[in-house]
Structure 1
Amino acid sequence: MELELRHLKTIRAIADAGSLTRAATDLGLAQPALSAQLKRIERALGGALFERGRHGVRVTALGELVLERTRVVLPAVTELQQEAARFARAPRTSSVLRLGGTHGPLLGALVDRLADAVPDARVSTCTSWSERELARLLAEGRLDFALAGTCGSADPPGAAGLVWQEVAVDPVFVMLAAGHPLAGRAELDLAELADAEWACVPGDGCFGDCFTAACARAGFTPRRMYETDTAALVHLVQVGRAVGTCRATFPTTPGVITRPLTGTPLTWRHLLGRHTVTQGDALATTVLAQARMAHAGVAARSDSYTAWLSARRDPAPPALP
């Protein structure tokens, strides 16, 4: 029998699980079938890889040697597969530009700007709530660029070869029904919303934890959080069921207003990601510049955001004696 990659994965699974029973469960095999396969592998390698005992298996010296090689071979093969996928999926000409992004106005604004900045390119888009999924699509060569984000100073989604550059940093605002008792205020303290139920869009970053921590600093625990799509979030806010969290660039919506929080307890960092293998610096510089201008345009269309920015650029003059 010739040794194959699946055999190395089996050895690794048994070592990680510490017993044939648990490894069989992880691999979706019956234990007798896994035992028989292990015996064939051991015959091919010339000796026992594991010593069986009452409490599981223990790796032999030969097993340690083989496992050491699997730690090199398996990641190398995975990297080879990813590189091949990126190469196969990368556009052969500049006629296609594949953009990914989380849901929001920034992606549409970037597409609009790129129509003029890169007039020969056909732009396609892919949206996802998951920043990790966008990173995976970049790593696999299925996207050229991705607009994602992180809460505050959190690290961006990680994958080998990815580069993330900052587009802008927004405060996180709250979204209220137009008839909410606090709707007339220019700015709200988070503690004033201690009795509210909350709604936000889903994500796989740390925003939920950061929001809970901000509420704790304000002296309360959120009563309930609805994680839902944008349309349902807006509805929950419009009917007064919940107060929403949103980026400051959230577009004007009938029956809904957005307001900043005192002290800006939460921020959102917009990022543009690419893979260094599939995209070079020249196009990346153009797309990043257009993304930053797209963000500025989106921000300018939000009355509450422009008022917030103006208040920070033009502080009130000191009171006269």
Structure 2
Amino acid sequence: MNLNVYIETFLSWSLAGRTACVLFLIVFLLGLLVEKYLLRLLSFIPFLLDKLLRGLYILIEFPINVLHKKHGGIFYDMENGIVHATEKIDAGLTRWHTRWLHAKTSVLLVSALYLAAVLFVGVIPSLAGSMDAPIAKGGKLYLQLESKLVEQAEAHGWYTAPERIIQNSVFMKTNRTYILKKGQLEKLDSAPLFQDGRPYLPVRDTFSAFGGTLDWDSESQQAVIYLGGNEIRLSEESAEVSINGEKATLLSGLPTITADTKMYIDAQAFSALLGLHFYWRPAHNILLISSSIDHNFGPLTIQAVDERLSPYSKGTEIVPGL
């Protein structure tokens, strides 16, 4: 097995499994490295503090002695008070230093284990779900890119959007497809396909996700979709579409494709057909198709869509600029 295989195997584990592995390595390194190097440096801290306080005492003591010689009395009492306080500080530092030398290893290892417990109890449950799945949390939809889970898209290469914006949306990541309905993520049965670098969606599952039903007309060899009181007909391996009896061509000009007896439609053509908003980031295989989008969210480009192909919209397609 080469290094890439090990990395892929590690990334295939759940979030909790990967976190536990990393935390174990951290604790292990603490036992090897911290004890050998860092703890030796830390053991000098009490000594350094002691020297620092003694230096400050000398800086204070010198002017007090000068004033004492000139004025006596009150400054003599002040000097005695400072000496007494310094002796207490010295005794306290000595006790602390002695205890630290005996307990430093245990203190750091217990601290590391405590941090691990906090992560498992407080952090990991809040990120519930597989790292490969989008996560609806706190009014936002988090999509995974490059095996990381962060909130800020611009700084870390992530795409996030308020949940209210993308209700009834289809989200696709590599070979998995999800739909977000009323804050709940549902995984679709059929995975998308990629052909010539373009994403294709399963016709039946995708139209059903938006409330449509699909029948098969064996006589005309067409898929018949009923959606919102409209009838849409798609032909196998053809870019031709019929909407309420009116013929047109899919926006992308690409035909539907068939694989494993299932019909697939180009994702952008599907978006235009229903007047939906289309977001596609090929570098990460991220696709978001939404029935509504906030015009104030991110840089947007408005592109005209053939009115014949979007009878359910105002004739515009909104594509977030990349």
Q: TM-score range by the shorter chain?
A: under 0.3
TM-score of the superposition, structure 1-length normalised? 0.28
TM-score of the superposition, structure 2-length normalised? 0.28
Larger Rg over CA atoms: 2
Higher relative contact order (CA 8 A, sep 6+): 1
